[in-house]
A and B are shown apart, each in its own frame.
Chain A
Amino acid sequence: MTRGTRDADGLRVDEAFRCGDCENEWYYTRNRCPDCQSATFSTYRLREGELVAYTTVNVTPPDVRSANVLGLAAFGDVRLIAQMSDDDPEVGDSVRFAGQYELREGGEKRARLTGVDGDG
């Protein structure tokens, strides 16, 4: 897979998938529903989730900010890891995607996770 396809999944960072047959939801792109293998699915926008874990990464690839605060968040059954705009989050925080940032230098601008009550 080239880096171009990886960046250009044609998806917004806050978009997830919903199966048209069994209504299962998932985030990480695949060709079929992981539960019922249906190839019929659509995308939807993630709204509010909960922070399950986070880490501040100091050693990052050359085109990624340092420090890179990453959060593991649950939007219902959908879980994902994404960059956070808050430096000091807490497990259990409510989070949503907001803002426009270059997640990798020179890449398309995308939203980061931010605390719903924060100023992020």
Chain B
Amino acid sequence: MTGVTISGVGITPFESDAERSALELATAASEDALDDAACSLEAVDSVHVGNVLTEALDVQGGLANAFVSAVGLEGVRADRIENTSASGASATHRGVEAVASGASDVAVVVGVEKMSDADTSTVTDAISKLTHGREYVQGITLPSFGGLAAGAYLDRYDAPREALAEVAVKNHENAVDNDIAQFQKEVSVEDALDSPVVADPLRLYDCCPMTDGAAAVVLERESDAEGVHVRSIGSATGTHAVAERPDPIEIESVSRASERTFADANLSRNDVDVACIHDAFTVLELLELEEIGFFERGTAWEATMRGETARDGAFPVNPGGGLKARGHPLGATGLSQVVELVWQLRGDLRGDRQVAGAETGFAVNVAGFGNNSVCTLLEAP
């Protein structure tokens, strides 16, 4: 147990082309989180901002300082945390550590990205610079790694192409009634199989979109505030160059981070009622479910096709639509997973949108193609 509670959450709509700036999105999400926590600005003493691209896209430097000024916080400790696609969870990790250690009484953690600030090829190139120099020379992009792993997974386990499509179908279905999701529409297996090839065998509907959006949480000590408990949070790095892994379908950072997180919480995989998995590509949902140990190796695809990971299945995965359909605003994604889990664990949601009886939630947020992973275990109030 960390002794830290999430006393409030806030999130903006996730969309393809937001009218508001990154700074305005971050401010809106944070103000909602502070309102939700019934917490005054004066009480906040540390700010942790997760963000990836604002400098790379030539929009804003010193984002944390611009943010505290825009929100109206003065004299707090603030900085920006960059860990590629896991920046949101890493910022949360730093916020939890600040409160757990007593260094901070009230921490605001916000993640934000405005990927529409540049054209698609500029953003793609900026993201591909997270690769090793000898990978970058080859023109490798993140979907390239996904295509290699997906081909190897389907071959190894003799799984049909439909298995990947079913992940997309499920996550789109889950996003239909998520008011903040980028794609609130269903897709069929046929739609997914007919969509253009991005990195064979991955097609457009196997890949998360580019997204604008922000999400925020307020963290306080359990003795000071009511809320969802942070049982544990842990991270681990993997190899930088993806080819150096002994097996193309293994993501060691995910297994390491999850082992640490379960050990720190003194919980087992069977204790988890609902999970948010980093499905930047459909195959990643399957690989990560197996790395964490929610399913045996080579079986997550069959479980998905049987409906076990659907919102009304035995083990609901990505009940808000995941990166695939809720969207993937890089720096905000890890926080959007936490916001979704908080809603589920507080029982805030209505009808089918709510996972019945969810007491314990798990999230994994992954940087690059497994360069670094951050896992979080949360427990109902």
| B5-18 contact mask (Cβ, 8 Å, vs A): 1 or 0 | 00000000000000
Taken residue by residue from 47 to 91, chain A's Cβ proximity to chain B (1 for < 8 Å, 0 otherwise) reads as: 000001111111111111100101010000001111100000001
State A3–B62 Cα separation when bound (angstroms): 23
Instruction: Indicate if the CB atoms of B243 and A91 lie closer than 8 Å.
Output: no
Interface string of A8-48 (1 = CB under 8 A from B): 01010100000000000011110000000000000000000
| A91: B residues at CB distance < 8 A | 155
Closest Cβ neighbor of A28 among chain B residues: B241
Report yes or no: A26 in contact with B244, Cβ–Cβ below 8 A.
Answer: yes
Interchain CB contact under 8 A, B198 and A28: no
Q: A58 with B133: in contact, given A64-B139, A104-B139 (CB under 8 Å)? A: no
On chain A, the number of residues with a Cβ less than 8 Å from chain B's Cβ atoms is 39
CA distance A6 to B132 in the complex (A): 8
Give the interface of B toward A (CB within 8 A).
121, 124-125, 128, 132-141, 143-144, 147-152, 155, 196-202, 240-245, 248
Contact at A57–B243, with CB atoms within 8 Å? no
Q: A55-B151, A56-B199 given. 15 additional CB < 8 A pairs? A: A6-B134, A9-B134, A27-B244, A28-B132, A29-B132, A29-B134, A55-B147, A55-B201, A56-B197, A58-B199, A61-B121, A79-B244, A80-B241, A103-B139, A104-B139
Interface centre among A9, A11, A61, A62 (most CB of B within 10 A): A61
Residues of A within 8 A of B240 (CB): 28
Q: Are A60 and B148 in contact (CB under 8 A)?
A: no
Q: Does A107 contact B (CB under 8 A)?
A: yes
Contact present for A54 and B151 (CB under 8 Å): yes
Rounded to whole angstroms, the CA-CA distance of A86 and B60 in the bound complex is: 43
Determine whether the beta carbon of B243 is less than 8 Å from that of A72.
yes
Q: Which residues of A contact B148 (CB under 8 A)?
A: 53-55, 70, 72, 81
